Chains A and B, each alone.
Chain A
Amino acid sequence: MNKRDGEGSSRKNVDSAQEQDMSTNSSSSVIAAFRVFQQELDTKHDKYERLVKISRDVTIESKRTIFLLHRMTNVPDPEDVLNDAEVKLDGVRQKIGQIAEELRGEDIFQFHRAFTPGIQEYVEAVSFLHYIRHRSLISLEEINARLVFMRTEKADAKGSAEGQPLGTQVLTFQVTPSDYLLGVADLTGELMRMCISSVGNGDIDTPFQLSQFLRQIHDGFSYIGNTGPYEVSKKLHTLRQSLGKVEDACYTLRVRGSEIPKHMLADVFSSRTTLIDPEEGVV
């Protein structure tokens, strides 16, 4: 403090500056007030940084789960992969539990920007897994229902006096509808990749299922239009591109399928996708 005051006065050229800085000693009420503000702001920033960190971990783990799920098409036992993914997502949920813990007693919207990327990525991963398993869109309630955490609390003095050393507390985390929406928009990109790679593997049913599902989601987004958050309209553009690719793939399947014998289709597409793939990877 004293050092800072010294620096402050050295750059001043006014004669009375020395006296002025003397008057702003640490006991003044203004300084005392700012010390309180300093503490308040630091606490807030620290919490924000912690949340950003957890959110990044959630993002990374969710992305890994998605990559794992993409590998599903060319392994002998898909069920194993799905279970692995489930285990990974449990880990992610533990992390979200930490977010919920940080946010206990806070206004979640005050820190929303810190963790929204992670949550969107989680929605993407969890809805992708759900689609592979059930071929349907996971609902917001289903996502939120799995984000309930039991916390065992260290007993306070009063608790132990009553002979109850540990109390459990239920913590919930609510994904906001906007985060859900943005996560689902990202999901469509993954579905497009899944469609192209399944064509590569000679799977002719999945592309048609996917194109139908994507069309439903696209219609849903068109219904929401610009009433949603700003990011939605940006994602809608990418969604259109993904849908176009899937529809083209289905078109080719139908056209070529009628002229090439069934047992040769796989060969046709595996050679085709090698041509397509480098371009798809960019998106």
Chain B
Amino acid sequence: MSVTEMFSYIQGFLSADQDVREDIRKVVQTLEQTAREILTVLQSVHQPSGFKEIPSKCTKARELFCTVRTQIADLKTKFPVEQYYRFHEHWRFVLQRLAFLAAFVVYLETETLVTREEVAQILGIEVVREKGFHLDVEDYLAGVLIMASELSRLAVNSVTAGDYNRPLRISNFINELDSGFRLLNLKNDPLRKRYDGLKYDVKKIEEVVYDLSIRGLAKEPESVGDK
């Protein structure tokens, strides 16, 4: 095989690769659009009036997740299934956002931590790699960390809206998350960087709880009984 032939073979491979990436990029753009819509819907819980509407907002968000499922199904058709990590960078960001949104919805509904299986189910994808398009564990954890900072904001705003019990429940929840993350041996990677931000969220919520308790606004028995 001559040098020229070899290079045109490689060139053919590279341009095929670029075509796939172009296709993926287009679908990911629509996915990002939907993710932003869901975020907009959920942002209204920070409004004083939004606290009563949490269930209806969640229902609306869940409806939008249907769109996400069809868009991800579309994304799956754009590349061979065993090459997930070759193109991972293209959807990593949006998948983390979606994991965050799913976790946030589940938290608002039940005040529990969403499992990785649940997120995968909401997004219409798999948990284990062998079965196809899946949710990488690091992306799931990144999503959970985004939610933590959203919750610290929610704690502040719920006090403004006159809901003094919510911060205590959020505080319990975040503390539990924090001990969970402390179990992980993280490498010096983006996830670790994001985890380093968690302590500020914990601190913020603790300050809110402190403010409430010195003013006698928090009812102690509830915070213990709630868990």
B-binding residues in A (CB < 8 A): 4-5, 8, 12-17, 19-21, 23-24, 28-31, 33-35, 37-38, 40-42, 45, 105, 107, 109-110, 112, 136-137, 139-141, 177-178, 180-181, 213, 216-217, 219-221, 223-224, 227-228
A41 contacts B4, C-beta separation under 8 Å: no
Write 25 A-B pairs (CB below 8 A) sorted by A numbering.
A5-B179, A8-B175, A13-B210, A14-B209, A14-B213, A15-B213, A17-B206, A20-B175, A23-B176, A24-B176, A28-B176, A30-B113, A30-B179, A31-B180, A31-B183, A34-B181, A45-B187, A139-B6, A177-B13, A180-B10, A213-B3, A220-B4, A223-B8, A224-B7, A228-B14
Which of A17, A139, A216, A221 is B1 in contact with, Cβ under 8 Å?
Answer: A139
A16 contacts B220, C-beta separation under 8 Å: yes
- A-B interface contact total, Cβ < 8 Å: 135
* SS class, residues of chain B in contact with chain A: helix
Which of A8, A21, A30, A220 is B6 in contact with, Cβ under 8 Å?
Answer: A220
What A residues does B182 contact at CB under 8 A? 4, 8
Number of interface residues of B (CB under 8 A): 52
Q: Does B161 reach chain A (CB closer than 8 Å)?
A: no
Closest CB in chain B relative to A163 CB, distance in Å: 31
Q: In the bound complex, how far is the Cα of B183 from the Cα of A35, in angstroms?
A: 7
A-binding residues in B (CB < 8 A): 1-4, 6-11, 13-15, 18, 82-86, 88, 113, 115-116, 129-130, 137-138, 141, 168, 171-172, 175-187, 206, 209-210, 213, 220, 223-224, 227
A8 contacts B178, C-beta separation under 8 Å: yes
Residue of A nearest to B18 (CB): A227
Residue of A nearest to B5 (CB): A139
A219 contacts B86, C-beta separation under 8 Å: no
What B residues does A112 contact at CB under 8 A? 85-86
Residue of B nearest to A141 (CB): B1
What A residues does B115 contact at CB under 8 A? 33
A34 contacts B184, C-beta separation under 8 Å: yes
What B residues does A219 contact at CB under 8 A? 3-4, 7
Closest CB in chain B relative to A216 CB, distance in Å: 4
Residue among A19, A31, A37 with the most chain B CB within 10 A? Answer: A37
Which of A34, A178, A216, A224 is B3 in contact with, Cβ under 8 Å?
Answer: A216
B82 contacts A140, C-beta separation under 8 Å: no
Residue of B nearest to A180 (CB): B10
Closest CB in chain B relative to A279 CB, distance in Å: 28
Which of A40, A41, A110, A221 is B186 in contact with, Cβ under 8 Å?
Answer: A41
What A residues does B172 contact at CB under 8 A? 20, 23
A21 contacts B84, C-beta separation under 8 Å: no
What B residues does A21 contact at CB under 8 A? 175, 179
With A15-B213, A21-B175, A30-B176 already in contact, the answer to whether A220 and B185 are too (CB < 8 A) is no
A45 contacts B185, C-beta separation under 8 Å: yes
